[in-house]
Amino acid sequence: MAQPPAFGTIGVVEGFYGRVWSEDEREAFLAGIAGFGLNTYLYAPKHEAALGPALLEPLDKAASQRLHRLHHACEARGIALWAGLHLEPPFDAGLA
């Protein structure tokens, strides 16, 4: 068993461009980081419309169920799930 982290929050950011991970790949990754004693997972893949362009729209049923499964996969491993938003115009207009 891994030692608890010296920091209160330590983890990994999933926020890349490229091939999207399957749910099975993501769950295997979560098991791996839990094994290293990491306790936080920041979910921010660029393909996730619900975290960007469609942020203000209701989630469709499939997206809602997928995010719900991700939440439970993290919770079962003692990992906090955070969501990273990738805001694009018009959300960031005037912030510069």
- pLDDT given at position 55: 80
The residue among 6, 30, 35 whose CA lies nearest residue 81 is 30
pTM (predicted TM-score): 0.78
What pLDDT, on the 0 to 100 scale, is given for residue 46?
80
Q: Where are the alpha helices (DSSP H) in 15-79?
A: 23-35, 61-76
Spell out, as residue ranges, where the chain has pLDDT lower than 50: 92
The confidence score (pLDDT) of residue 5 equals 55
pLDDT of 90: 54
Residue 1 is predicted with a pLDDT of 56
Helix (H, G, I), strand (E, B) or coil at 6: coil
Please name the helix (run of DSSP H) or strand (run of DSSP E) that holds residue 13, with its range, or none: strand 11-14
Q: What is the structure's pLDDT at 94?
A: 54
